[in-house]
């Protein structure tokens, strides 16, 4: 298994797109950290960029990489290797390379310049989002045989999670504003990994005061150590479930 991961990582690290992604992340992090004198403010700006850019790059890059390595997969499938192992190795290689890029671009500079618990949390959430969105990419591309359709689905998924979903939630909250919606909104927040990441971090930054009563409920739920753990648990599920579905499909797929 490690051997396949090694080949995938070596292949991706030579990719210029990934290198420029790293440089971009690094530049953004440095700009945010140096241009603003307020720590919280710069972390917030960085958070917003991480929440938009990371899922987008992870899901698109992973999808395209999967389709480009169809040959590699075909070559491996007729070798004495378990199928689930092939898919999981390719996923692991992808996620690992994206994590390396994120680690160099955001993780290292942030942890060196600002060693607060909040920035550790930000790095953790970024890492989890990278892992989650490459898992979603694998799920989509295993199900879609056609490359163009696969990339379309990946873009739609990103669009849904980062824009559409928030719109839907807002719509629901307005429609049912006569009812107590604090608990449903916690559930709604957990159904989207990006929102969940945002909530966990915003509560650390004490911006919850701006969110009124809902913010207070969020604070009492996600603000505690148990709540944060639960949040990370749900994020882990967001990684495991798509992978499980992808492996199940891949085991019976005709290549």
Partner 1 sequence: MIDLSHIAKRYGRLQVLDDVSLSLPMGKSIALIGPNGSGKTTLIKCLLGMVVPDKGSISFKGRNILGDWSYRADIGYMPQIGRYPDNMTIAQVFGMMKDIRCLPGKDLDEDLVNAFQLPLIYDKRMRTLSGGTRQKVSACLAFLFNPSVIVLDEPTAGLDPVAAGILTKKILEETNKGKLVLITSHILSELDDLVDEVVYLQDGRVRFHKSLPQLRVDTGEQKLVRAIARVMENATI
For partner 1, the binding residues (CB under 8 A) are 3-4, 7, 11, 14, 69-72, 74-83, 252-255
- Least distance to partner 1 from the beta carbon of 53, Å? 26
Nearer to partner 1 (CB atom), residue 70 or residue 191:
70
- Least distance to partner 1 from the beta carbon of 142, Å? 14
HEC string for 197-225: HHHHHHHHCCHHHHHHHHHHHHHHHHCCH
Q: Are 161 and 194 in contact (CB under 8 A)?
A: yes
Longest dimension (CA), the chain: 61
- Least distance to partner 1 from the beta carbon of 85, Å? 8
Nearer to partner 1 (CB atom), residue 147 or residue 253:
253
Nearer to partner 1 (CB atom), residue 81 or residue 100:
81
Nearer to partner 1 (CB atom), residue 19 or residue 75:
75
Give the C-alpha distances (Å, rounded to integers) separating 252 from 65, 101, 189, 236, 241.
Answer: 21, 33, 34, 25, 18
Nearer to partner 1 (CB atom), residue 71 or residue 178:
71
- Least distance to partner 1 from the beta carbon of 69, Å? 7
- Least distance to partner 1 from the beta carbon of 8, Å? 10
HEC string for 74-123: HHHHCCCCCHHHHHHHHHHHHHHHHHHHHHHHHHHHHHHHCCCHHHHHHH
> Which value, in Å, is the radius of gyration of the alpha carbons in the chain?
19
- Least distance to partner 1 from the beta carbon of 11, Å? 6
Of 137, 150, 144, 128, residue with least CA distance to 51: 128
Q: Which residues contact 106 (CB under 8 A, 6 or more apart)?
A: 25, 26, 28, 29, 46, 50, 122, 123, 126
Nearer to partner 1 (CB atom), residue 82 or residue 149:
82
- Least distance to partner 1 from the beta carbon of 17, Å? 13
């Amino acid at each position: 298994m490690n051997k396949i991961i090694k080949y995938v990582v070596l292949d991706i690290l030579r990719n210029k797109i990934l290198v420029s992604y790293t440089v971009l992340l690094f530049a953004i992090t440095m700009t945010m950290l140096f241009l603003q004198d307020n720590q919280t403010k710069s972390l917030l700006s960085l958070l917003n960029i991480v929440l938009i850019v990371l899922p987008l790059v992870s899901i698109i890059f992973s999808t395209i990489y999967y389709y480009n390595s169809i040959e590699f997969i075909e070559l491996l499938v007729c070798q004495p290797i378990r199928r689930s192992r092939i898919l999981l190795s390719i996923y692991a290689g992808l996620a690992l390379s994206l994590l390396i890029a994120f680690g160099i671009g955001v993780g290292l500079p942030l942890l060196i310049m600002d060693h607060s618990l909040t920035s550790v949390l930000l790095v953790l959430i970024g890492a989890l989002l990278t892992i989650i969105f490459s898992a979603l990419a694998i799920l989509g591309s295993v199900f879609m045989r056609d490359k163009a359709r696969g990339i379309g689905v990946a873009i739609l998924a990103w669009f849904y999670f980062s824009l559409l979903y928030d719109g839907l939630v807002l719509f629901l909250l307005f429609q049912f504003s006569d009812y107590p919606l604090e608990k449903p909104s916690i559930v709604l927040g957990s159904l989207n990994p990006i929102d969940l990441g945002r909530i966990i971090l915003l509560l650390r930054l004490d911006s919850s005061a701006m969110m009124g009563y809902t913010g207070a409920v969020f604070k009492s739920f996600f603000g505690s150590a148990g709540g944060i753990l639960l949040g990370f648990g749900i994020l882990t599920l967001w990684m495991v479930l798509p992978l499980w579905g992808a492996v199940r499909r891949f085991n019976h797929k005709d290549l």
